[in-house]
Amino acid sequence: MFYDFIKRIIDILGASILAVLFVPIWIIIPILIKLDSQGPILYKPERVGKKGKIFKMFKFRSMKMFEINGKAVHAVEFWKANPDLFEKYKRNGWKLELNEDPRITKLGKILRQTSMDEMPQVFNIFSGEMSLVGPRAYVEPELEDAKKRYGDNVEILIKQSLSAKPGLTGPWQVSGRNEIPWNQRVAIDADYAKRRSIIYDIYILFKTPFAMISKW
C-alpha cells in the first residue's frame, strides 16, 4: 500500500514536470509530423495494462498511413497485405530493425530512436493507466503468440508482469531495448513487478536519458 501511494505521487509529479519541461516538443513535433507525412498527429493503439485491462495508449504517430481497399488506414493494417513480413516480425520478437520496417516514416525513425514518440503517454500516467516506470505495455496478440511460442514458463512471467502498471520507461528499455529477445524482456519485466522498489524506480529514471541517446 505504501509503495503504491508513493509511486502514484511520484507519477503525478513526474508527469507534470515532463509536461511542462517539454512544452517545445508539444509544439514542434506535431508540426514536423504533419510536414513529414499524411495522417493524424497522435496514434492511440490498444495495449494490455495492469491485470490484463485493455487501454488506449497515446503516442506521437511514427508510422505511415496506407491505403487499403480505398480507405486510409494506420500501418497496423499493413500486415494484412504483407503476411510474409508479418511472420518475420513475429519470429523476430515482434520487432523489425528500423531500416527494414517499411511502416516507419523518416521522422518516425528519429522519434523511435530517442523514444520521443512515447511522450504523450504522460496523459496515460495522469489517468492512472500507466506509471513513469513499469513493464512494457504489450499488445494482446503479441502475448497470445508468445504463450504458444514459449510455453507455460513465459505465461507465468506474463502474469507477473501484468501485476504492475506499464511504464513510460522501464527495466528493459534501459537494459538493451529491442536487442533483448522477447522472452528475456518479459522476464525482466516480471522481475521488476516483483521488486516493488521505489529505489529501483529512481535508478531506472536516472538511466533512461542515457538509454534514449545511446544510439546517437
For residues 148 and 178, the answer to whether their CB atoms sit within 8 Å is no
Q: What share of the chain is helix, strand, coil (3-state, %, to 5)?
A: 60, 10, 25
- Whole-number Cα distances in Å, 156 to 129, 163, 171: 22, 11, 18
Q: Show the domain range for 116.
A: 2-212
Burial 169-194 (b: 16+ CB within 10 A, else e): bbbbbbeebbebebeebbbbbbebbe
Domain count, the chain: 1
Reported confidence tier of residue 161, pLDDT bands at 50, 70, 90: very high
In the block, cell 522519434 appears at 111
Span 61-98, pLDDT tens digits: 998 877 667 676 666 667 767 778 887 877 777 777 77
For residues 44 and 137, the answer to whether their CB atoms sit within 8 Å is no
- Whole-number Cα distances in Å, 171 to 116, 134, 192, 211, 214: 17, 7, 7, 11, 15
- 216 pLDDT exceeds 60? no
Span 93-120, pLDDT tens digits: 777 777 778 888 999 989 988 889 999 9
The pLDDT assigned to 215 comes to 54
Radius of gyration of the chain (CA): 17
Mean pLDDT of the chain: 88
